[in-house]
Amino acid sequence: MNLISIMILAILLLIINIAQFISNKKHLSTLKSQVEQQAIQIEESQSMKEDFVFEAIENYGRSMQIILSMDLELKRVSDRLLNFLGYTQEDVTPNFLQSIIIYEDYSLRQQYLNKLINSDHRPFILVNRFQTKSGEIKYLECYYAYVENDTSKSIYVSTIDITEMKNKEIDLQNSYELDELLLNSIETKVAALDKNGQVIALNRAMQMSLRNKYEYYPDLEDICLRDIKIINNMWQILNKNEKSLLFKHKTKFLGDESWNLINIQGSFSSIGAIISYTDITEAERLDISIRKNEKMYHEVLERLPISVVATNPKEGITFYNEEFAKLLKLSSRTDILGKNLLSYIKQDQKRKFIDTFFSLSPEKFKSITQTMLDKEGNSIDVKIDMTKIILDNKLTDIFSIRDIRDEINVKKFQERLDQKDKQIETAKYQTEYFANISHDLRAPINVISSAAQLMSLKDVQQDFQSGSIDKYTEIIKQNCTRLLKLVNNVIDMNKIESGFYTMVISQVNIVNLVEELTLSIRSYTEAKDIELVFDTEVEECIVEIDIDSMERIILNLLSNAVKFTPKGGKIDVRIYQDFPNVIISIKDTGCGIAADKLDLIFERFKQAKNTKDKKEQGSGIGLSLVKSLVELQGGLVDVNSVVGEGSEFKVILQSVSAEVDGFYEDITTNNSRLNLEFSEV
């Protein structure tokens, strides 16, 4: 075979292979198309099944549907839910649910969904808050369920609108009516229903009692224990045929009997009724036991002059004596047994009652004064004592209640008597004060009058020549000064009390001021042979004061020290700093002041009397004025004294920076003020 024939044969084989390849490719394409078509048909069939389930659930009852993928992406949301929230399908985006569910609820929802997908696949219920397009908040009870079929897995969410019920529950939680009942019911089961019989609130005790019976939110029949008598009584209240009903209910289970005291109260607010269950099983059993021994108990209780009540947290009042019923004017046992003692306490004192008797403090015996209310609403002041004992193998609170109204009346009467005594004592001090003032006014006037009479009887020229006239003039001047000091003190005290006293505040070196004033009285101390010592721990201390007032304060304290220090005594004037304060101490070795008089000496009408030396008595206004003047300058006055050893007065002032320029340095003693303050020495 030649070369040309071989080439032709090879080309033919290549053409055949290409044709076969093209034929196989077309076949594969056909197969792929058939598979894709079958997948679409399966997907459409599955979608039709989902649509059927979705529409069936949507059209049944009052629920609205949402479908989520296993990646928690939104697959479908019903038009009914969108219309309820004010949205349309055009508003739906991948993050649609995240944008309309309140953040806190969305976060909690995600936690539960992760557990549903990755763990036990058990359905759960959450109350989620959704925000409508207009911004309103709606409460939806959402039932989340894991659904798996042959080809897919999804999360179905069935929602029910409970907004009205939640709003009523919120209103109810804020209402005084339910708050009062819940406060009084530590172990009592309580539920509230609206006027249509819908349950809108449960207290914790009721929730705990129903938790193991119903996995859904309980309705009226559940709350009424599915007992026809309780249900009928509830509708009597809801239909306003009755305002309230109180009755006992006995149940029997496996031979075990239990009793509840059921109280159904109507309401004029949005609440239709409130029902409470108080377990009085032990109370009923105790009552049977008490009746068996009634004669003995009655005799013991009647001998007690106070009220006695036995309670426990679970059953309320289980025992009481006649004195208790008499105190509160209660005649029916149903008004007492099973009730909480707290319900008889005045509203504004209930918190104090709880804090005292139900705190975790270790004391076994506790006591408190309270106000109780009797059946007619009258207030009764009582003293309540409580102790704990074991009664019938149960921890029981025993309260003894004593009427203390008479004691309070006696106490008030005694307080009025004490007030009268205080007024009499004040009047006595005022009388003594004015007597002293009168004496201080009369004595100088008498001296001046006597000096004037002597001057009129003698030859004036001869007296001038002999110098006697100078003595009389000095006597007149000294006593005029005494009068002026007294009048000034009275006027200034009145100005201070009425707020009209004026001061000129400047920055002063208090060390210089006190030193100059101390040295200025040396002639008075030398006349009585009194040792005068001035000492300072600081060379310079700046204070902001009124100079005239401060001179008056220091001279008054120094004059008292000289006046009451006997011959041969000692006066120490010391300045030291206790930052930021500077302290001026004036200490003497005088007669001292009794401890019970230390608080009196700064009062206007009062003074410590020196029974040994009547001539050194004053008007009692000086130290009162000193205290007022010091306090006006932001300072304090303190005193320490021991009778027979002497006294120490301290003036405490607040210092300012020592670097302040322009402070008062050159202190010049005012002799007229010195003579004025020492006019009685």
Write the CATH number for 474: 1.10.287
Would you say residue 442 lies in a domain? yes
Question: Which CATH number do you get for residue 518?
Answer: 3.30.565.10
Span 626-647, average pLDDT: 92
Mean pLDDT for the stretch of residues 20-46: 49
Does 267 lie in the same domain as 180? yes
Is the pLDDT at 663 greater than 50? The verdict is no
Residue 205 and residue 225 in contact, taking contact as beta carbons nearer than 8 Å: no
Burial of 101 (0-12, 13-18, 19+ CB in 10 A): buried
Name residue, tokens 């129903």: 210
pLDDT score for 642? 92
* In 255-331, alpha helices (H): 281-292, 294-302, 322-328
Structure tokens at 293: 């021994």
Specify the number of domains making up the chain.
5
pLDDT score recorded for residue 257? 84
Q: Please write the tens of the pLDDT for every residue from 120-160.
A: 788 888 899 999 999 999 999 998 888 887 777 888 888 88
Q: Is residue 31 part of a domain?
A: no
Q: Residues near 76 by Cβ (< 8 Å), separated by ≥ 6?
A: 50, 54, 65, 66, 67
Tens digits of per-residue pLDDT, 259-280?
A: 889 999 887 566 789 999 988 8
Give the chain's largest Cα–Cα span: 192
Q: Are residues 665 and 516 in the same domain?
A: yes
Rounded percentage of the chain residues whose pLDDT exceeds 70: 70
Write the CATH number for 97.
Answer: 3.30.450.20
Q: Are strands 64-68 and 153-161 parallel, antiparallel or unpaired?
A: antiparallel
Look up residue 215 and give its two tokens: 């996995």
**Nearest residue to 343 (alpha-carbon basis) of 370, 322, 361, 306:** 370
Q: What is the pTM of this model?
A: 0.37
What is the rounded average pLDDT of the residues 36-58? Answer: 53
Judge whether 489 and 619 are in contact, CB under 8 Å: yes
Residue 534 tokens, joined: 């001035």
Tens digit of each residue's pLDDT (9 = 90 or more) over 426-470: 767 666 665 566 566 666 666 666 666 666 665 555 555 555 666
More confident residue, 440 or 508: 508
Residue 33 within a domain:
no
Q: Looking at the predicted structure, is the pLDDT value of residue 27 above 60?
A: no
Q: Is 222 found in the same domain as 115?
A: no
Cβ atoms 547, 664 nearer than 8 A: yes
Last residue of a domain, one of 279, 310, 343: 279
Residue 147 shares a structural domain with residue 121: yes
**Beta bridge partners of residue 199, listed in sequence order:** 193
* CA–CA dist 154, 158 (Å, integer): 13
Read off φ and ψ for residue 602, nearest 5 degrees: -95, 0
Spatial CB neighbours of 270, under 8 Å, sequence gap ≥ 6:
168, 171, 172, 194, 195
Q: Is residue 15 part of a domain?
A: no
More confident residue, 524 or 36: 524
437 within 8 A of 490, measured Cβ to Cβ: yes
Please tell me which residue, 442 or 170, carries the higher pLDDT value: 170
Distance CA 133, CA 100 (A): 8
Q: Where are the alpha helices (DSSP H) in 188-319?
A: 204-211, 220-223, 228-238, 281-292, 294-302
Q: How many CA atoms lie within 13 A of 12 on its CB side?
A: 6
**The pLDDT of residue 40:** 47
**481-487: long-range pairs with CB below 8 Å, 24+:** 481/675, 481/676, 481/679, 482/440, 482/443, 482/444, 482/679, 482/680, 483/441, 483/444, 483/445, 484/676, 485/676, 485/677, 485/679, 485/680, 486/437, 486/440, 486/441, 486/619, 486/621
Measure the CA–CA gap between 350 and 268, rounded to whole angstroms. Answer: 25
Same domain, 357 and 479: no
Identify which has the larger pLDDT, 91 or 11.
Answer: 91
In this prediction, residues 348-377 reach a mean pLDDT of 82
Q: Which of 38-47, 116-125, 315-324, 595-604 has the lowest mean pLDDT?
A: 38-47
The confidence score (pLDDT) of residue 42 equals 42
Of the two residues 288 and 615, the one the predictor is more confident about is 288
Domain identity same for 243 and 377? no
pLDDT of residue 611: 44
pLDDT average, residue stretch 407-422: 85
**Of 492-506, 529-543, 564-578, which range is least confident?**
492-506
Pair of tokens at residue 70: 């296993």
- Ramachandran quadrant class, 446 (left: phi over 0; alpha: psi -120 to 50; beta: rest): alpha
Pairing relationship of beta strands 570-578 and 531-536 according to DSSP bridges: parallel
Q: 465 in a domain, yes or no?
A: yes
Say if residue 632 is in the same domain as residue 549. Answer: yes
Q: Give me the pLDDT at residue 501, please.
A: 81
Pairing of strands 379-391, 542-546: unpaired
Q: Which domain holds residue 292?
A: 283-403
Q: Are residues 546 and 652 in the same domain?
A: yes
The whole-angstrom separation of Cα 543 and Cα 658 is 9
Through-space distance between the first and last CA atoms of the chain, rounded to whole angstroms: 165
How buried is 474 (Cβ within 10 angstroms: 0-12 exposed, 13-18 middle, 19+ buried)?
exposed
Please identify, among 443, 465, 494, the residue that sits at the C-terminal boundary of a domain.
Answer: 494
**Same-domain status, 396 and 432:** no
How large is the average pLDDT for residues 220-226? Answer: 89
Contacts with 93 (C-beta within 8 Å, 6 or more apart), sequence order: 99
**Comparison of pLDDT for 574 and 296, the residue scoring more:** 574
**Which pLDDT score is estimated for 269?**
62
Query: Bigger pLDDT: 597 or 471?
Result: 597
- Residues making up the chain, counted from first to last: 681
- Contacts of residue 147, Cβ cutoff 8 Å, sequence gap at least 6: 153, 154, 155, 156
Which of 159-163, 294-298, 316-320, 339-343 has the least mean pLDDT? 294-298
Q: Is residue 44 part of a domain?
A: no
pLDDT class for 415, splitting at 50, 70, 90? confident
Q: Say if CB 407 and CB 434 are below 8 A apart.
A: no
Q: Are 621 and 489 in contact (CB under 8 A)?
A: yes
Could you tell me if 548 and 426 lie in one domain?
Answer: no
Phi, psi of 578 (to 5 degrees): -125, 80
Quick check: is 43 in a domain?
A: no
- Model pLDDT, residue 230: 93
How far is it, in rounded angstroms, from Cα 120 to Cα 145?
A: 11
**pLDDT at position 571, please?**
94
pLDDT recorded at residue 204: 80
Among residues 132, 161, 190, which one ends one of the domains? 161
Picking from 597, 592, 595, 584, the residue whose alpha carbon sits closest to that of residue 555 is 584
Same structural domain for residues 66 and 213? Answer: no
434 CB-side CA count, 13 A: 5
Cα separation, 381 vs 223, whole angstroms: 39
Q: At what angle do helices 622-632 and 468-498 cross, to 10 degrees?
A: 50
The answer to whether residue 474 sits within a structural domain is yes
Same domain, yes or no, for 626 and 538? Answer: yes
pLDDT score of 171 more than 90: no
